[in-house]
Amino acid sequence: MTDFDLSTIRNIGIMAHIDAGKTTTTERMLYYTGFLHKMGEVHDGNTFTDWMEQERERGITITSATVTCYWKKHQINIIDTPGHVDFTAEVERALRILDGAIGIFCGVGGVEPQSETVWHQADRYKIPRMAFVNKLDRIGADFEHVIEMIQDRLTKDALPIQLPIGKEDKFLGIIDLISMQAYYFDSNTLGFTFRTEAIPKDLLGQSEQARELLIEAVSEYDDDLLSHYVEGIDIPDALVRKAIRKGTITNQFVPVMCGSSLKNIGVQLLLDAINDFLPSPLDRGSVIGYDKITHKEIEVFPDSNEKFAALAFKVQIDKYVGKLIYVRVYSGSIKKGDMFWNHTNDKKERVARILQMHSNKKNDIDELHAGDIGALVGPKFTATGDTITSPDLPLLLSKMNFPDSVISIAIEPKTKADLEILNDALSKFEEEDPTFHVNQDKDTGQTLLSGMGELHLEIIIDRLFREFNVKPNVGNPQVAYKETITSNAVAEEQFVRELNGKGTFAGVKISVTPLRENQLKDGKRNLFDNLIDSTIIPEEFWTAIEESVFNALNDGPLINSTVERVKVSLIGGLYNPVDSTEASFRIATAMAVGKALRGANPAIMEPIMLLTVITPEEFVGDVISDINSKRGKIDIIRIQNEHVQEIVAEVPMSELFGYATRVRSISQGRVVYTLEFKKYEVVPPAIQTNILKRIRGY
């Protein structure tokens, strides 16, 4: 594109419960848009069958971070957002950088717990959204019921802008409540062609009613529409669209659409709606970061002529190309060959290539502009969450926060040869996935993998085998414990040592105070407060002391796990102009922190999960008593319909290993559940005693 018009860009995510039809819908979107694109290049000989073959490989494309397609002079970047909560990091990072989203719901199941979770995650990021009720061809599909569920569980601001014509195997087409026309999609061309007709007589009354509701609701967002509506003047379609757009991009309205992706009904209308109603980068506006040196706020604008600023939101290691750094550009532009500055790690790096995923091909492009999304090749040190800019813009965008890894497993390679492959593979996974960590167990020397849940780690193990052909021995999953303190303490330590006739000396006095979780912001795990002045310890040592404090907090007094929710204050010290060194202050600090933590009634914390169980009524009692026996606390019991109930509970992760099997045996496989990390909490004293016995042997 030579003329770069930001208003024609859409960076959107598709959020859906597993099986709601995200992949199928995305496929159709790529098909309809890709076909148009290919039609312009007949000489390429891209026949229909070619395309179908590529489509079978689409699984790969969908797992890439973004796919770009063009629809009616708009560039749509689709950002992948997986449905499973074990991959919540993927969801969070997508939400951070996209401008709008489509929630896809199954016409039978409606709003499932996971789509509810993701929807509310998107609320936090104030992402404008539309909803697409898919699978209306399925037996049991009920558009109205799904609308009620959406209004009840997600947002009361949702209203249909379409109605289905028929349902189940009689689902024939779609009524557009804006143009008041019926759309029928031609199955011979896989829905590629469609025709419009007058609304069937038997649906006319219902359609007029629904339109009335819609116009009334959205006239609130546009005065022009309001006056037409109040005065009873004919309302042009464009005016209704404008009002829906205004309501949607300001997060006050959620248009609901319908269709069947599998039967190729409605997807083009969905594409139209993306262009019509979801925000462009201009609508989303400026982003606020802060100056790295002065810490003052900096606002960056979606304007290609400004200085370059972007966020690296995903790293992917590609078999052929190497490391791909996916970036969202917030202002300015970057060209192939440019240098950029990474302010998160203070490194200057060069961009060798810029790639865009177009349908299922990687296209080299020369430049990325404000508002755009693409992948950089060349940078070596840039990681997920880093801010990159032009060298003269000392900007840091707010950090991306990823949840804690709550479980770990130990693995062991079977052969020496495997060890090397294993290490390579694991460091690759670790680079790609900010919620996956690899550590060596200090005592046993084993390799510990930690992640978000059993499924997350199972997939890693499975990938080791499928992609690298290694099958390590795998231990049982363990909970990732943490430590905290439960009272205040003060400690003072001096480090005095004589080495080769030269003395070293430092004295540090600190206090520790327990913090509540809500006293910590921006993903911080602990706080440090320096309460001394340079007459007590000269300023040149302060950084070393602070670093040493945070280091010491990685090694808890009970089980050597990380310590969190502690405020450490530097309240005094001793210094000697001849003998004091940075190293001696580091050691004295580590000693003082360790002593203070031991004196502050340390406690072990465990991960607590949010467990959502959907169960037929007859198993409710068994499910609840099982949860109670697992130290669980029931939050809510909701009636889904006359046969099915939903139970939401907080349960310690350590009690949930093998829950899948347990639940199957309770209910003969008729109960489904999801698990999501909720928080860390101090364990009861008896449990702490057991953990200490197990880990320390006493």
Contact partner at residue 262 from Mg ion, ligand GDP, none, CB < 5 to 8 Å by partner kind: ligand GDP
What backbone phi and psi angles, to 5 degrees, belong to 149? -65, -40
Cβ nearer to ligand GDP, comparing 82 with 379: 82
Position of minimal CB gap to Mg ion:
23
Cβ nearer to Mg ion, comparing 23 with 645: 23
Residue 583: HSE in the Cβ half-sphere, 13 Å Cα cutoff? 5
Residue 84 CA to residue 437 CA, distance in Å, equals: 19
Q: Is 347 left (phi over 0), alpha (psi -120 to 50) or beta?
A: beta
- Which residue of 10, 11, 13, 22 would you call a contact of ligand GDP, by CB under 6 A? 22
- Which residue of 77, 117, 134, 344 would you call a contact of ligand GDP, by CB under 6 A? 134
User: Which residues in the 115-144 window bind Mg ion by CB under 5 A?
Assistant: none
User: Which residues in the 259-288 window bind ligand GDP by CB under 6 A?
Assistant: 260-263
- Name the 3-class secondary structure at 166: coil
- Name the 3-class secondary structure at 47: coil
Cβ nearer to ligand GDP, comparing 170 with 319: 170
Window contacting ligand GDP (CB under 6 A); options: 258-266, 358-366, 432-440, 491-499: 258-266
Q: Cβ neighbours of residue 688 under 8 Å, at least 6 residues apart?
A: 603, 604
SS (H, E, C) 331-353: ECEEECCCEEEECCCCEEEECCE
Residue 6 CA to residue 331 CA, distance in Å, equals: 11
CA-nearest of 494, 561, 570, 491 to 527 is: 570
The CB-of-134 to Mg ion minimum distance in angstroms stands at 12
Residue 44 CA to residue 64 CA, distance in Å, equals: 25
Residue 429 CA to residue 449 CA, distance in Å, equals: 11
CA-nearest of 108, 136, 115, 95 to 17 is: 115
Residue 117 CA to residue 82 CA, distance in Å, equals: 12
Cβ nearer to Mg ion, comparing 82 with 255: 82
Cβ nearer to Mg ion, comparing 23 with 408: 23
Cβ nearer to ligand GDP, comparing 166 with 594: 166
Site string for ligand GDP, 24-53 (x = CB under 6 A): x-----------------------------
CA-nearest of 276, 182, 178 to 235 is: 178
Contact partner at residue 58 from ligand GDP, Mg ion, none, CB < 5 to 8 Å by partner kind: none
Q: Does 18 bind ligand GDP (CB under 6 A)?
A: yes
Cβ nearer to ligand GDP, comparing 21 with 453: 21
Distances (CA, A) of 651 to 10, 401, 463, 576, 647: 40, 23, 29, 53, 12
Site string for Mg ion, 20-49 (x = CB under 5 A): ---x--------------------------
Cβ nearer to ligand GDP, comparing 113 with 302: 113
Q: In DSSP terms, which residues pair with 325 in a beta bridge?
A: 315, 376
Contact partner at residue 331 from Mg ion, ligand GDP, none, CB < 5 to 8 Å by partner kind: none
Q: Does 20 bind ligand GDP (CB under 6 A)?
A: yes
- Which residue of 138, 246, 369, 586 would you call a contact of ligand GDP, by CB under 6 A? 138
- Which residue of 23, 88, 219, 513 would you call a contact of ligand GDP, by CB under 6 A? 23
Q: What residues make contact with ligand GDP under the rule CB under 6 A?
A: 16, 18-24, 134-135, 137-138, 260-263
Q: What residues make contact with Mg ion under the rule CB under 5 A?
A: 23
